[in-house]
Amino acid sequence: MFKKSFIVAAVTVAVGLAQMSAHASDPTYEVGLGGSYFDYDDYLDFEASPGVRGLAAYRFTPAISAGLVVEQTQTELELFNLDVDAHHYFLEGLYHFNTDGRVQPYLSLGWGQLVLETDLFDDYRSSITTVGAGIKFRLAENWEIRSALNHFFMTEGEDAFYNVAAVTLSYLWGGSDAPRKSGAVRAKDTDNDGVPDPSDVCANTPSGAPVDTRGCALDTDADGVADYLDNCPATAARLKVDDRGCPVTLSETISINLKVNFDSGSAVVKPEFFSEIRKVADFMAQYENTRVEIQGHTDTSCAAAYNKSLSQRRASAVAAVLISEYGVAASRVDARGYGEEQPIADESTAAGRLANRRVVAQVSAQIDKQQAR
């Protein structure tokens, strides 16, 4: 009768737990094994005795859990000097306090069956009700020590009771509601980068990639390539890099029209053209090992020899601004005058002659190209 009723009760509770788990987020499971000590009242006339305890539990929320506890002990009926095997099984609900802490006190309430076995008499069975209290102490993320003190009432016939003190070592597993080592409730970390999902700005960081406090991959040299992909982790600031994080060099000659124009016969750079010259400085700062040739040009208003000299002075004036105002090394700058030899517009109009009075910057560098497989 006991076995049948207990199995029915256990199955009923298991079904209830399964239904509740469908609504509980990230449950925690627990199995434990430990020792216990039985102390009986005078009515039972049993000797106090040590025993063993096993348990399996399910934690629905940080505060509430339920489980099955099984205990066994060997004692002696003092009146007859008779050995007795005592077993009890009970379902127990726990309410926890300080759920965010490593140390969590709790209260418990349960119901089950007591079975006493001897060689001389038939087995004795009684339903039992228990109230208790204890403390759980987190040892590590998946391990816990649980102490318990239970007071049991024999609810069928006899007005008898007994007490059991127990200590159990439990193993925990399950979802993110299981407290971490610090005791705090664990939050999900989908990409396993150490930053919980609610705080993770970059939720798909590859596993093992170093991340910052926001969960985003580190980019120590700020070149736009994450450290875990960066083959050149110490690239100088502002340098253009490839997808491996290494400085890019040019494979061709690039010309930049500065749009710096001059008054007729003048080699003075007007301040309104400084921003154009700065574009060359910014471009050169992005590429290592580049040199620039500042090319000066004139219209045909004067003699060719004079124009040659004037174009050289114009080129040198722009080169001086590039070096003195924007910090480009003089060793990377050349200035050359081409006079009237390379016109780009019709000299018969004033607008055409203005266009020909110009300076051009030509930047070049050598690249080692990777060959495709």
Each residue's pLDDT tens digit, 188-232? 777 777 788 787 788 788 877 888 888 887 888 877 788 888 888
Burial 174-210 (b: 16+ CB within 10 A, else e): eebbbbeeeeeebeebebebebeeeebebeebeeebe
Write the CATH number for 46: 2.40.160.20
Which pLDDT tens digit goes with each residue over 275-300?
Answer: 889 988 888 887 777 889 999 888 88
pLDDT of residue 64: 93
Please tell me the total count of domains within the chain.
2
Q: Round to whole Å and give the CA distance between 128 and 125.
A: 10
Which pLDDT tens digit goes with each residue over 166-192?
Answer: 999 999 998 654 444 444 455 677 777
Q: What residues make up the domain containing 119?
A: 2-174
Q: Is residue 231 part of a domain?
A: no
Confidence tier at 111 by pLDDT (50, 70, 90): very high
Confidence tier at 17 by pLDDT (50, 70, 90): very low
Write the CATH number for 298: 3.30.1330.60
- Domain endpoint, select from 174, 194, 226: 174
Res. 117: pLDDT tops 80: yes
Q: Is residue 31 part of a domain?
A: yes
- 12 and 161 fall within a common domain: yes
- Domain endpoint, select from 174, 201, 222: 174
- 170 and 258 fall within a common domain: no
pLDDT of residue 198: 80
Contacts of range 73-79, beta carbons closer than 8 Å, 24 or more positions apart: 73/36, 73/38, 73/49, 74/49, 75/38, 75/40, 75/46, 75/47, 75/48, 75/49, 76/46, 76/47, 76/49, 77/45, 77/46, 77/118, 78/45, 78/46, 78/47, 79/45
- 160 and 259 fall within a common domain: no
Res. 247: pLDDT tops 80: no
Q: Is residue 269 part of a domain?
A: yes
- 155 and 53 fall within a common domain: yes
Q: Which of 5-9, 10-14, 233-237 has the highest mean pLDDT?
A: 233-237
- 13 and 145 fall within a common domain: yes
Which pLDDT tens digit goes with each residue over 341-353?
Answer: 889 888 889 888 8
Q: Is residue 318 part of a domain?
A: yes
Structure-model confidence comparison of residues 70 and 116, the more confident one: 70
Q: Is residue 235 part of a domain?
A: no
pLDDT of residue 334: 93
Q: Is residue 328 part of a domain?
A: yes
**Mean pLDDT for all residues in the chain:** 81
Q: Is residue 92 part of a domain?
A: yes
Model pTM score: 0.43
Q: Is residue 200 part of a domain?
A: no
Res. 368: pLDDT tops 70: no
- Domain endpoint, select from 126, 151, 174: 174
Res. 76: pLDDT tops 60: yes
